[in-house]
Structures are given as structure tokens and as C-alpha cells.
Chain A
Amino acid sequence: MTDITMGIGGAAGDGLDKTGDTLARTAARLGLSVYAYNSYQSIIRGGHIWLRVRLGQDKVESHGDHLRALIALNQDSIERHAPEVGPGGVVLFNADKLRLNIPLRDNVTPVPLPVAELTKAFGRVQPIMQNTVALGALLFLLDLDFDVAAGVLADTFAHKGKPTVDLNVGLLHVGYDYARERVPALGCRWSFSRKRRPFITGNEAFSLGAVAAGCKFYSAYPMTPASAILHWMAAHGERCGVVVKQCEDELAVVNMAIGAGFAGVRAMCGTSGGGFALMTEAIGQAGMIEAPVVIVEVQRGGPSTGIPTKTEQADLNQVFGASQGDFPRIIIAPTQTADCFPTAVEAFNLAEKYQLPVIIISDLLLSEHPETIEPETLTAAVPIDRGQLVTDPGAGNGKYKRYAFTPSGISPRALPGTADGLHVAASDEHDEEGILISDMFTNPAVRRKIAEKRLRKVDLALRDLPAPQLLGPADAEVTLIGWGSTLGVIREAVGQLAAAGIRANHLQVKYLHPFHSRDVSEILSRCKRTICIELNATGQFARHLRAETGYSVHDRILKYDGEPFEPGDIAEQVRAILEGRPRSLDVTPAEAREIAYHYIRTHLDEQVRPGRIERVDGDGREPVWRIEIVERDSGEKRGELSVGISTGATHAAAVDVS
């Protein structure tokens, strides 16, 4: 086995992120490919957190489908995730605190760790230290190098001194030894290259790309899931010579960045959908005054405040629709973590070359999940194209005109402080010199020509942007279409389909505006059957595709539950579509259990859990899943709950939880 996914489940505050990080960094230092996804909630302590870490000998591009190992840090995690562990897998937990109160799948080994016994020699240890014991056990089961893991811990706790390092390494060791003596390893067959690779999130890669490209100004208002860019910039701004400004609101954020861009500094700002909504008027202003600015929009689940800590790709309509009027802009959706660094560099070059706002549309998954990428892709040797800047505007024929009507539409830019380049950049419509034509000098002909000038830049920019390529066999029976961050997971689904004898190919779109309408139309005209795959409820990209090409996809795979796609889930839906199996929006038994958990945690108490689930039809209402509510330990029935199979409505029957 050279590809394995494990999960760590617990409550916020259980410290599982550190545990996951140690595991991931250990594997990364050994030269393995690592991909992690933290399905978290936006509270500090208490909510359910579910971290998945996937390791691969070769590049892994999603958190995968098959859970092989679980570290459960609380009872909820055993009940909810232990049944997901597949054959040959293990479930690790602290036997002093937790009980295996639900059946496991066949050939899954429980590893109850006697933490108190194992840690006796260390005196009183904090509850969070149980994680390190479990991690030690997992290290053995995964055939990872103990010394490398100890090195990661030494680096992590270096600032706390040697006793803390020794304690953690010691705890790791007892866990490791305990597993080695009692549990057979899972059978991973690694070959460690020990090539060190950065374990990096999209937000970190955007930040690094920005400073490498010469970003000197970053402004933001705190908003999940974009805040990590602000944090990175604030922590590194001094070293990298960046002014980092937390502002009073997103109106200030974007207008400050535009001001900085106008004054000749590479400026970026970041936000999520709600903050972007506040920025929209100013984005049109940047288009109008032809000021370069880069805006990172990290999507989270909407609408409104929505699900702030969950992922979605549903802000596409918003970024297309941002601001009134027709104005030039470029919208880029980077496709994977390794693409974030070059996309940031490219965005600055495009913004300055074409003097317009460039919107990078990311999402929570891409921005926040860490994965290993090749270190060579992160370099200071990036292209920097500042476009047409004039240093001696008085040298030409006649007066300098800031918005000169040129064949390309690009008017050479004079920065404030430059003699003879004086002008006013106006958000009102203006002429070549920047003189307003909105009031007393209103002039339809000038208006027409300056509108055309601005928009010509976008036509020109399209030539700078590589057209999307069809990946995979040209004669495939089905084409999967995605945009932005779904590149890896769709690619993996294509591989799974191929293994099942289904020839699929793949079109992933990165440049959303301007759009390669001709190239994409040509590709699609040769496709037999097309399925657009998006993380939203209404197929926003499929509609955009139709608007740009006139092409309607045959089918769509949409997901809007806040969780990212998994490759197996895409492959199965593709198979269902190809076989003509009708798709159902009914509540599945697994979903019914989650709905029951929500009901229990909000209305009942911690002593019960969902038990047996059965379908009940025909008592005049919609068919329901009837879920027993049982005593957590004994399994004794305490009541029941019905969940409508079609609507998802909950109907509680009497539950005795005195």
C-alpha cells in the first residue's frame, strides 16, 4: 500500500491540529506526498473537528475516499467515524476515557490505548498528551520513521525548552512501542526519498507569490477563510517590506489598495464573499480609473453569513456581476495549491500591464488545506512586468494624456511624483486627459471611444492567458468539466473511472474572464457527453459556459453541503449518470444519522446517540427514517426520532433523557 488516508476526530480544543501537523510534517520530511483537510467549526472549544490526512508515495490530490486509520479523541468521533474505517484499518483511542460502543466493519482492528498506564512514568501529563501517545502508535502502524517524527516534535516545541521536547518524544515512544508489541502494521510500502517539501496552504502560497512579485501593500478586514493571508502578511510584512493594513471595513480595504495601486505600488487585498460584496463598487472604480489592484476572494458557504468554515464555489455569479456598468477586469480561479504562487505573480503582472482589477477567486478548501508541493516552484526569480510606465511624460509630442486613446487600449501610466504627468483619475466618465465628460462636457462620441478603449484591453489580455486543454483521451465517452480548485479531485475521479473501464476526459477552466470562448467551444464540440462538476447548488459555471459558448452541458454534478468533493463520490455519480440511474435528493441513512446527531446535540444531552435506523413508509406522511435514540453506553433505547426522507424534516417522538 502506497496511498493511505487517516482521520483524527475530536472537539475543538483537543489539540488535534497539532497532532495532524506532526504526522503530516513527518511524512513530508520523509519525501511522501501529503494532503490534509480540516473540516472544522468556527468556535474555539467544543465543536466537532474532523481532520483527514492522506499520504502517498506519489502525488495525492485530494483527501481521498477510503479511511484506513482513525485517532478518536472523543466519544463522538468513535461513533461517527469508526464505522467509516475500511477493512484492514485501525481505530485508536484512549481506553481510559472512551469506549468502543458501536460495531466496526469487518477486519478493522480496535487499538484501545491504556494511556494512564503508558504515561505513568512521566508523572502527571496534560490530557492533550494522549494525542502524542496515539500518534506514536500510528507512526508504527504506518511504517513511518520514528526519528524523523521526533525531529518534528523537537522543532515544534523548541521554544518551550528541552524538558517539553523530551516529554513529547517520550510519549511518542511509548505509543510507538505499545503498537509495535501488539498490533500488526498496516502494510504500507514506502520508499523514502527524504526530499523536503513545503507543506503549504493556498493562502500561504498566495502570500508568498505576492511578496515574490513585489506586493508592497496588503489590506484586509478579518474574514474566514481569507484571514490567514492577513496573518501571514502581518507576521512577515516587516521582513518583506510590505505595509499590512487591517481596515475598518472592506470598503476601506479595497479603496486603500486602489489608492496604493494608483500611487505606483503593487497592492493586494483579500476577503470572502460577504466582504467582496462590500467591495464591488470600488472594483468598478478600479476598472474606470484604470488602477491596478489584486483582489483575492476566498469563497465559503453562502448565502449571507452562510457557513463560514465550510467550502463552496458559489460566488461565481457575484464576481462576474460585481459592480455596475461595463468595465475591464480579469478573473482567475487557480486550480491547485501549486498553482496559487504563480497565479499571484501572474495577477500582479496582468493588473499592471492592463491597468485593471484582477480578481483571484479561491475557496476555503484551496485556501486552507495544506499539502506538499515541489519546493522548486517557489522561487524569487519570477517575471515582473510593470506594463507601460512613463518616467518622462513631457518628452513626447504635446501634452501627456493619461487615458490616451491607443490602438491597444493601454495608455501609458504616469505615477504621482512624476513631472509633466499630472492628471486626475476620475470615477466619473472622462476624456483622454481625464477631464470629466459626466456633466458640462458630456459628449457621446468621447464616451463611446473611451468605453471601447478600456474594453479593448480585455481582448488583448485574453491573448496572454493560456487556453484550457482537454486532459485525457480525445475520444472519451464522457467529459468532466470543472473550474478552480477541483482539478485534482476530478483528475483522480477520471483515474478511478478508467480503472472501472470508463473512458473519461477532463476540462478544467482557470481563466474565467476574459473567457476562451472559441477554444472551449471547439473542445466541447468534439465531446460526446459532458458533465459539469461544481461545488454549488445551481450550476453557476455551467450557466457561464452557456453564456460564453452557447453550449449546454448534458448533466451536472453539484454539491452544496459544505464539504469538498471526494473522488469516489464523483466517479459514482458519473457512473449513475452514464447508466441512466435517476439521481435522488433523498436523505441517505448516513445523513439521517447526522441529522439525528444535530437534534441530539441541540435538544437532548450527551448521554444518548443515534442507534438503529429503519425506513418507515405510508402513515399518511412522507416516508421517514426512524432512528432509535439509545443510551450511549448500554445501547438501551430511550426514544426515537423520525427524519423525512424527502424533506429532511425532523419529527421527535418522546425521548426520555432524564
Chain B
Amino acid sequence: MATVIELPLETYAGPVEPDWCPGCGDFGVLKAVKMAAGKAGVEPKDLVIVSGIGCSSNLPGYVHAYGVHSLHGRAVAVASGIKLANTDLSVVITGGDGDGYGIGIGHFIHAMRRNLDLTYVVMDNQIYGLTTGQASPTTMKEMRTKSTPRGNVELPINPIALALVSGATYIARGFSGDPNHMADLIAGGIRHKGFALIDVFSPCVTYNKLNTYPWFKQRVYKLEEDAGYSPADVKAALEKSFEWGDRIPIGLFYKDLQPTYEDSEPAFRLGPLARQKLGLDEALLKSLVEELM
């Protein structure tokens, strides 16, 4: 295996500063994404960060890399197209819980069962922040928001459990209060061959007054510190994914090496599509036409 040359954080310094609210959890994620790219040794020119729409989806604009700031809910689909077009690129998807677990959940599930080599970082703040505080797919039951003044009546999505049953092969959870730990998780996801989900508790300091930094700090513990836990055990991971309340696990839930979608694609025999020559030779075209005679 080639030696990874780690790159410093400044390598990825973006052109402008974030316009997030002071104290937003996404600052921690931004730092962790840059650290992770550096740890994985991905050069900016080979890094593509794809996002959807939402506060957190502004992230690609703050990193020195290629990026697509796509439509609400469509980041995973755009990223899939980019990866299939050029498998030499490291493609990292960043977005929020509304983007990924609400309007984009179909793409999320199907990308996982395809096991494309993508890394998906979801900044999960359990609220719609950009639209000023409506319930999101991960808002806790009974929480009052602008759109649920009598309390949320719907169960939240459990992203970790969903990823486990949908075929993702690297599943982790980070916390913005610990960017170094999160950076390791994301770097692991970038290095992992297959679909990696890193769900991140990234508190919204403006619109979520329930799931705050102190709320998480009291509860989170690292799976790595549980000596009896193995991320190779899918059943144990599923059990852990339901742990929620006084104690909430973060860290690597599950990791498994399975063939990726790219491994089975015959068109990649001649290398990444983006580097292949265009068009057909006349003999091949003639044989295709001959089928129609």
C-alpha cells in the first residue's frame, strides 16, 4: 500500500469565511473535514465536496477543493455521478439532516445498498435551521418547533440503524464538540472502500434549544472506550444504534469490507471514464449497425 503523505489543515483553507451563526456545530465539522482530508492525504485537486441545501450545505464553499453545491436533497445523486465519472476522485458529501434524511432519503438508502465508494458526513442538528426552526426528520418526539407548536408527534429517523440495514459498509457517529475524534472517523471513511456514513451531532445554537452542546456532552461516550465492543459485529452495532437517552454512543459502529459498485463495473477496465477516449472505432460501430440488418 502506498504511503499516505498527510497534508496540513491550511492546505484546504477556503476562499471565504463561513457565515454560520457563532457557535454553530458546523464549524467543528468544517475543521474535521479538512483535517480528515489531510490525514487521508487527498490533494485538493482530487477532492470533490458535494452538498445539498441548508446551512451546513454551504460547507464546500469554505474548503479549497472542487465542489458542487447542488439542490436540496440531491447531493448523494450528484456525488454518485461524479464518482462514477472519475473514480480517481475522492468524493465527500456534506449536508444536513433535512437534506439527507428528509427530502433526500431515497438517494441515501439506494447509495448505501450500491456501496459506492463515497463518504457522507451528515451534520445532524435535529432542526431546520436555514428556514428558521421547523421540525426535521431527526427532531425528537414531543419537541416544540415553529411547525410543531404542540410538540412533534413523529418518531425521529434513526440514521445509524437505517444505514446498517441498508448496506453501508462504514458507519460512524461524531460530535462537533470533539473535532479531533470526528476527523479520525471521517478520515477512516475517506480511506474506506465503500459507502461511509458519518452522522454528526452538530448543534444548532439558534433554533434547537433542546439538543445543545451541554445536552450532548452529558450523554455521549466513545465506542472505542468500550473494550467489549467490536465494529465487525453487525448485530451488536444494531443494538448500539438504539441506545439513546442518558448515554449516547459516538464513534465507529460498524465496518465491513465488501465489493464496491465500482469493482463490478466493466466500463472501468480502461480506467476512469473521464480519462477514456471519446467515441467508437468504425469496426465496432459497423458491428452495432449490423445487428439491425
Chain A interface (Cβ < 8 Å from any Cβ of B): 25, 28-29, 196-200, 204, 208, 211-214, 216-217, 219, 236-243, 245, 247-249, 251-252, 255-267, 281-282, 285, 289, 375, 378-382, 384, 386, 415-428, 433-436, 439-441
The answer to whether A435 touches B284 (Cβ under 8 A) is no
The answer to whether A416 touches B69 (Cβ under 8 A) is no
Task: From the candidates A213, A420, A427, name the one contacting B69 in the complex (CB within 8 A).
Answer: A427
Known: A28-B293, A415-B274, A426-B61. A263 touches B86 (CB 8 A): yes
The answer to whether B285 touches A422 (Cβ under 8 A) is no
B29-65 CB contact bits vs A (8 Å, 1 = yes)? 0000000000000001110111001000010110011
Q: What 5 pairs across the A-B complex have the smallest Cβ distances?
A: A259-B81, A214-B278, A255-B77, A424-B67, A256-B81
Known: A249-B106, A258-B81. A422 touches B45 (CB 8 A): yes
B273 proximity list for chain A (CB < 8 A)? 216-217, 241, 243, 260, 265
Could you tell me the distance between the alpha carbons of A265 and B85 in the complex, rounded to whole angstroms? 6
* Nearest chain B CB to A55 CB, angstrom units: 16
The answer to whether B15 touches A260 (Cβ under 8 A) is no
Known: A212-B285, A417-B46. A240 touches B280 (CB 8 A): yes
Asked whether any CB of chain A lies closer than 8 Å to the CB of B181, the reply is no
B58-87 CB contact bits vs A (8 Å, 1 = yes)? 101100111111110110011111111110
The answer to whether B270 touches A241 (Cβ under 8 A) is yes
Within residues 258 to 281 of chain B, which ones have a CB less than 8 A from any CB in chain A?
265-268, 270, 273-274, 276-281
Asked whether any CB of chain A lies closer than 8 Å to the CB of B142, the reply is no
Can you list 21 A-B contacts (CB < 8 A)? A199-B292, A199-B293, A242-B267, A248-B109, A251-B74, A255-B78, A259-B80, A262-B85, A263-B85, A265-B85, A285-B70, A375-B289, A386-B278, A416-B46, A416-B66, A419-B45, A424-B61, A425-B67, A425-B69, A426-B68, A435-B16
Could you tell me the distance between the alpha carbons of A500 and B64 in the complex, rounded to whole angstroms? 72
A384 proximity list for chain B (CB < 8 A)? 278-279
The CB with the most chain A CB atoms within 10 A, among B80, B85, B265, is that of B85
The answer to whether B78 touches A243 (Cβ under 8 A) is no
The answer to whether B81 touches A260 (Cβ under 8 A) is yes
Chain B interface (Cβ < 8 Å from any Cβ of A): 15-16, 19, 44-46, 48-50, 53, 58, 60-61, 64-71, 73-74, 77-86, 88-89, 106-107, 109-110, 265-268, 270, 273-274, 276-282, 284-285, 288-289, 292-293
Task: From the candidates A213, A247, A381, A423, name the one contacting B77 in the complex (CB within 8 A).
Answer: A247
B71 proximity list for chain A (CB < 8 A)? 255, 281-282, 285, 427
B292 proximity list for chain A (CB < 8 A)? 198-200, 204
A199 proximity list for chain B (CB < 8 A)? 292-293
B58 proximity list for chain A (CB < 8 A)? 436, 439
The answer to whether A208 touches B285 (Cβ under 8 A) is yes
The answer to whether A378 touches B66 (Cβ under 8 A) is no
Known: A252-B80, A252-B106. A217 touches B85 (CB 8 A): yes
Closest A-chain residue to B68, C-beta based?
A425
Known: A243-B265, A256-B84. A251 touches B285 (CB 8 A): no
Could you tell me the distance between the alpha carbons of A222 and B68 in the complex, rounded to whole angstroms? 27
A198 proximity list for chain B (CB < 8 A)? 289, 292-293
A248 proximity list for chain B (CB < 8 A)? 106-107, 109-110
The answer to whether B89 touches A212 (Cβ under 8 A) is no
A428 proximity list for chain B (CB < 8 A)? 69
The answer to whether A417 touches B86 (Cβ under 8 A) is yes
The answer to whether A256 touches B80 (Cβ under 8 A) is yes
Could you tell me the distance between the alpha carbons of A310 and B274 in the complex, rounded to whole angstroms? 38
A241 proximity list for chain B (CB < 8 A)? 267, 270, 273, 276
* Nearest chain B CB to A263 CB, angstrom units: 4
Task: From the candidates B80, B89, B282, B288, name the one contacting A381 in the complex (CB within 8 A).
Answer: B282
* Nearest chain A CB to B19 CB, angstrom units: 5
